[in-house]
Amino acid sequence: MNRNKIGVSILVLATLLVGMVLIPAVSAQEEKDYFVTAEEAFKHANANMISFIAADAPGFENWTGAFIDPNPLEFYDINSKKLFYQFSVYKENILIGRIDVCADKTLGASVNNIEFDPEPFKAAEAMERSIEITKSEYPDGKIKSTNMVVYSYPKIGAMTVVKDKTTGDEYRIFVDGYTLEGVEDKPATETEPGVWSMYDHLLKNGKDGFVEIL
């Protein structure tokens, strides 16, 4: 769907403003608990969608009559911190969009990403594949967790954390959510694929550049 740059800029600004209203700025001195529940995130997603539809925002022309699935997919950072809840938007039982709401108030405005006509990815298959590879490479290891992660923004996939029962060392197995191919656990560079922490980047550099309307 084509949209001019002015329309997208207005929409990004609106997203930031709505998010700032829904999740006020907090400081370490004022509040200790920055966690956002799935129920709270669902309210934020609905509020943003209703606001954009009512304002005839670019890209939302076809969203009138749409509804949000209240059961989100949870995405984590590679350091196992929860990043955001991804809500699917349907119209006449057809997936027409996704809304990502931050699970941590320290990461900035509530909405991290709004996507139109998204390409389906294979969450269940990626997690199953990640577990299969882990069991093959670490047959005596103890699997601690398997989650969907943002391993190299905007790339997503599954991550299984396994602990060596003898040494106590932990290892991570990554599988891309679209290709189902394994991803090497090494720092990503400009020329080489790998993984990096979106959570750490946001805390260090702020949220500029991460609120996207796709």
109 φ/ψ angles, rounded to the nearest 5 degrees: -60, 155
Res 205: pLDDT: 73
Rounded Cα gap, residues 156 and 133, in angstroms: 17
Lowest-confidence range among 7-11, 90-94, 147-151? 7-11
- Convert the pLDDT of each residue in 31-73 to its tens digit: 447 899 999 999 999 999 999 999 999 999 999 999 999 999 9
pTM here is 0.81
127 φ/ψ angles, rounded to the nearest 5 degrees: -70, -40
Res 72: pLDDT: 98
Residue 106 DSSP label: G
- Sequence-distant (6+) residues with CB within 8 A of 183 are 151, 152, 157, 174, 175, 176, 193, 194, 195
Which of 170, 166, 179, 174 minimizes the C-alpha distance to 133? 174
Cis peptide before 118 (omega within 30 of 0): no
Rounded Cα gap, residues 145 and 23, in angstroms: 29
- Convert the pLDDT of each residue in 96-119 to its tens digit: 999 999 999 888 778 989 999 999
Residue scoring higher pLDDT (49 or 8)? 49
